[in-house]
Structures are given as C-alpha cells and as structure tokens.
Chain A
Amino acid sequence: MKNSPAFVIGAGAILFAALAFVPFYVDGYGLALAIGIASYTILATAWALFSGPTRYISLATVAFFGVGAYTVAVLGEVLPWPLVMLVAAINGMLLALVVGLSTLRLAGIYFVIFTFGLTELIKQLVTWYEVKITRTVGRYVFLDIDQQTIYWQLLALAAILFLVGYLIGRSRLGFALRIIGGDETVARHVGIDTTHAKVALFVLSALFMTLTGAIMAPRWTYIDPAIAFNPQVSFQAVIMALLGGVQRLWGPVLGVIPMTLLFEYLNANFPNYFILILGIVFMLIVYLLPQGVAGAVSSLRAWSRRDGKSVEEAR
C-alpha cells in the first residue's frame, strides 16, 4: 500500500500543492531563498537522475543552465514566453545530444573530461559571437515576470522532474540504467543498448537544467557570459547531490536545503573565502559521506535491523 504508485504520486502532488502556498507566508528574502532552493533542487536532482545510476560524473550542469538563460536573454522580448521556453529546451537538448553521442559510447573518463571543459567552450563561443557578430557583450533582460511566478514555474518544473524520475525508476529504462551502473559489460551482454540508454537519460537531465536556466534568467536584469556560465553553479549542484545521496530520487533534496542555507550564509559573511570553504566542504563530503545522507540513513536503518542483506541493497 505504502509503495503503490497511486499513493506515491498522490502524496507528491499534495506536497507540491502545499509548497505552492509558500509565497503567501514569507517575505521577499524568504521568497528569494525558496527560489534558490527550488532551482538547486531541480539542478541537483536532474544531475543525479543521470549521474546517480550510470556513475558518469557530469561537470557541465551550468553549460545547460547558461544555454537556457542566454536563450531567454536573446529571445525574451521577441517571442511569447512559452515559445521562448520551447526554443531553450530545443537548444539544451541538441547540445546534450551532440555531447552525449560523441562521448557516451566511450569510457566514462572521456565524458568527464568533455563536460569539464564544455562550460568554458560555450562561454567563449558565446562571447566571441557577441563581440564579433552582435558587437555587445552583456544583455538586459526586461521581462514582466515577478518573483512569485518564477517560484511557481520552478515548483511546477520540479514536480514534473520528480514525476518523470519516479516513472523512469519503475520503467525498463531505469532498470537498464541500474544494470549499466553496476557493470556496463554485463549490461551489453544481456542485450541493453547502453549508448542509447545513456544518451536518452543525459538529454532528459539536460532538458531540466536548461529550463531552470531559462526560468531563472528574468531574475537578473543583466546577463553576460560570465554570469550565465558561472562554473560554481555546476560545482554546487554536484556538492548538493552528493551530500544528499544520488542513489535515491529524493536524496539530492536532503543536500540542497542545508547547502543553500550554508552558501547563503557564507556569501553574506565570508565572500572572499567562499570558494575555499566550498572546496573544503566538498572534500569532507567525498571522504566522510561517500553515499550521501540518504545512503547513510539507509545503511543505518539496515544496521539497526542487523540485516546484512539490506546493507547491500542500500548500496
């Protein structure tokens, strides 16, 4: 009963409906925090959606986020909003398709390296294009979209992401991906088209990252390549996902909330030491909590039941 799809989806729907009322109870600062948490929830969960089961570490979250934001900066005042989102989605998915098709058929290391430099590449290409062709670096985004609407859009996107993630986890694709994560050679031998499965999931995960960037773009009135393609965003999304735990769909959220609050505090009080502390926190997580909070909770529960088998399952 507790794990039946209807129950899980229903409970999720009630939770998201309740969260939609947040803007009526908080002040401007609280709303800004809620927007931060919502956007990083999508980024970290979308990251874990792909990197969790496949164990392919993507370092390019902000490349897609920035593509979304830049699409809005360029087209925001030209096209109606739904159409802008559609173009952003297509751009992000095309980029993911190119990256995925060229690297995901090789060993994981090539994918990591490629995504590691992808942000820098896109940033420089956009800068080059703006300087040479349009002769401006930096654009103003004047869109009539207020903070509440941004929050609701993010919330809706997060709800879709969780629904999609939940359904994938129960589908043949999700099962195939868990086998790939376990052992790719085995996966190929039981007849899984590993490249297609990986590319499909990577494109899907990139779609959500791109849309987050597009929704967030109106928050800045001014965008230039350095703002849109800030590598710290990729880094933070990875930290949050790892802290929460990538093996469960709800894992990353557990990392997003404390980390967003911590980063907010650090940014306000120690702006000069921000990157340094970020690095230290990251190292602590990698060394002390390799399975994340969700993984630690699962192993703890299994341990208290003295049941060796579920420890293995939790991994």
Chain B
Amino acid sequence: MLTNAILSGLTMGGMYALVAMGLTLQYGVSRIMNLAYGEFVIAASFVAFLLFTSGGLSPLVSLLIIVPAGFAVSYLVYGILLTPLVRRARSREALEADSILSTFGLLFIVQGLMLVFFGGNYTSYSYFNTPVQILGTTIAANRLVVLGFAVLFGAACYFFLMRTRTGVALRAVAVDPIAAGLVAVDVRWAAALAFALGGAIAVTGGVLVSMFLTFNANIGVVFTMKALIVVIMGGVGNVAGALAAGIILGLVESFVATFVDPGLTIAVTYAVFLAVLLVRPGGLFGTAK
C-alpha cells in the first residue's frame, strides 16, 4: 500500500510539475495569469481521445501532432487576444487584472466548445493498461509511461531554460522585463514565445493525463487551480521550484487519498496552499518577494 501510494503520488506529482511548468512560463515571463490554462490541458485530452478512438492513433504518436498545434494555438491566442491588453496596460498590475478577466472569458469559450463537441460526460479510453509488477506492488503500465514522459519533457524544458541562449533570455524577462530590454532581449518576442511554450506544455500534460485518468469538460478548473498552487509553492518563475512543489503536492494528495479519504484531496491541496500563503508567500524556495 505504501509503495503504491508513493508510485501514484510520483505519477500525479510528475504531471502537476509538468503542467505547472507551463503555467510558470506563462505567468512568470509573459505576465499573463491564464485562468483558461486547465481548459487547454483538457482540450488536448479530448483531441488525444478522438485521435485514439476514431483514428487508432496511439497517444504517444498523437503528441507529434498535438504539441505543435498547442504551440501554434497559444501563439495565436497571445498575438490576437492578449497583445491588445499588453498594449493597453499601463502597469504590470493592470495587465494582470485585464488578463485575468480576459482568460476567464476564454475559459468559458473553450469549455463551451468542448461541451458542444463532446458533451459533459466523463470520458476515458484504455491504452496500454496492462498491470506491471514493480517493487512488490501492481501498477498499470500506462502510469509508468506517463511518469517517464513527464520526467523526459520536464528535463528537456529545464535544459532549454537553463542551458540555451533563448532560455536565458526568457528567464531574464521573468526577473526584470525592463533590464532585459536594456541588454537587447526582445521582450515582446520573449513573452509571446513563453506563452506559446507554456501552451505546448499544457497540451503535453493533457495528452498524458488522458492516458490514465477519466476526464470531462468541466475539470479544467481543477488543473488550473493545482497548477497555480504549485507555481506559488515553487515561487513564481522558478522552474526547479515548480518541479519540486509539483511532486510534493502529488505525494501529499496520494497519501491522503490512500490513508485518509479520497474525497478530501482538494481540501488537502487547499490546506497546503493556505499554509504556504501564511508562512512563505514568496514560495517554498523563494527568497523574499
């Protein structure tokens, strides 16, 4: 039971870490608080489901289609919907308030589209659902695949941000957009790129989620919420912090679900969030904000 709790905690934690990394890029670099983030995750789950059931495409293959599509759609969303707000905003706070309202509307548009096309029922499909014996416990193989891919994508993003020239530019904008502009970083370009990358990570998470969870058109909010909590726990814009916080959240949830009550996982998520807000509002690993 203990190993099982740890393994499923790590899988969920890996998912949360991955999904939160996209949001921390969007919020940290582009300064867009994207409340529709979870809807993009779930929209990708539905597309993967559609490709699997009607096209017979394995979700891992459909990643090759969905991830570039997610990047492109997010780039367009930023270019068409959010650029006017960026131009209109007089301060960072004004942009945050405007982007919250705008993406709040977007949330209902994406959710409305999903309801029109797929209805409100819970959906799932069975992919690679063979039991595997590991460390004396049984786990579905797809969960291990998901964990592997989450680690792979997470590592790739981490490497990109920490070791490449573009990644450094993005992090510079996250720290101080004005100073970044002074050292010849194109801040507009960086913001659009970060938003699109965040969207690509969101849809990756969505495809992986669809492999082992049931989902419906209304649960995007939960993913947004958990991703936001992870971002704040890890410290806004802190990629390594988001990774660690995601895994902590996944483990805590899994332990509560296994040993206390599965109905209380959201309450625990909130309790963790509240504790962080009260004790370390700058994030677990953050310095003073």
A102 lies within 8 A of B101 (CB): no
Tell which of A108, A114, A242, A273 has the most Cβ of chain B within 10 Å.
Answer: A114
In the complex, whether A300 has a CB less than 8 A from a CB of chain B is no
Knowing A106-B277, A109-B33, A110-B277, say if A280 contacts B266 (CB, 8 Å).
no
> What separation, in Å, do the CA atoms of A278 and B281 have in the docked complex?
34
**What would be 30 A-B contacts, judged by CB atoms less than 8 Å apart?**
A57-B100, A106-B277, A108-B93, A112-B100, A117-B221, A117-B229, A117-B270, A120-B222, A120-B225, A121-B266, A124-B266, A128-B264, A128-B267, A131-B263, A132-B261, A242-B101, A273-B116, A274-B112, A275-B111, A275-B115, A276-B109, A276-B113, A279-B109, A279-B111, A282-B101, A282-B105, A282-B108, A283-B109, A286-B101, A290-B88
Query: In the bound complex, do residue B267 and residue A276 qualify as a contact, i.e. CB atoms below 8 Å apart?
Result: no
> A272: nearest residue on chain B (CB-CB)?
B116
B232 within 8 A of A: yes
Contact A110 B261 (CB under 8 A): no
Other contacts beyond A59-B104, A286-B102, A290-B88: 9, CB < 8 A:
A57-B101, A112-B100, A273-B112, A275-B111, A275-B112, A279-B108, A280-B105, A283-B106, A287-B102
Chain A interface helix/strand/loop/mixed: helix
Residue numbers of B with Cβ under 8 A of A are 33, 35, 81, 84, 88, 93, 96-98, 100-102, 104-113, 115-116, 221-222, 224-225, 228-229, 232, 261, 263-264, 266-267, 270, 273-274, 277-278, 281
A279 to B110, CA, bound (A): 8
Pair B278/A102 contact, Cβ less than 8 Å: yes
A235 lies within 8 A of chain B by Cβ: yes
Residues in B whose Cβ lies below 8 Å from that of A120: 221-222, 225, 266
Binding site for B on A (CB under 8 A): 55, 57, 59, 102-103, 106, 108-110, 112-114, 116-117, 120-121, 124-125, 127-128, 131-132, 231, 235, 238, 242, 272-280, 282-283, 286-287, 290
Report the separation of the CA atoms of residues A274 and B263 in the bound assembly, to the nearest whole angstrom.
30
A127–B88 Cα distance when bound, in Å, is 43
C-alpha spacing A196/B101, complex, angstroms: 26
Q: Which residue of B lies closest to A226 (CB)?
A: B218
Name the one of B108, B224, B228, B277 contacting A102, with C-beta atoms under 8 angstroms: B277
Among A55, A131, A286, chain B packs the most CB atoms within 10 A around the CB of: A286
Closest to A278 in B: B108
Query: Can you name the residue of chain A whose Cβ is closest to the Cβ of B262?
Result: A128
Which residues from B are CB-within-8-Å of A282? 101, 104-105, 108
CA–CA, A279 and B114, complex, Å: 13
Q: Are A55 and B97 in contact (CB under 8 A)?
A: yes
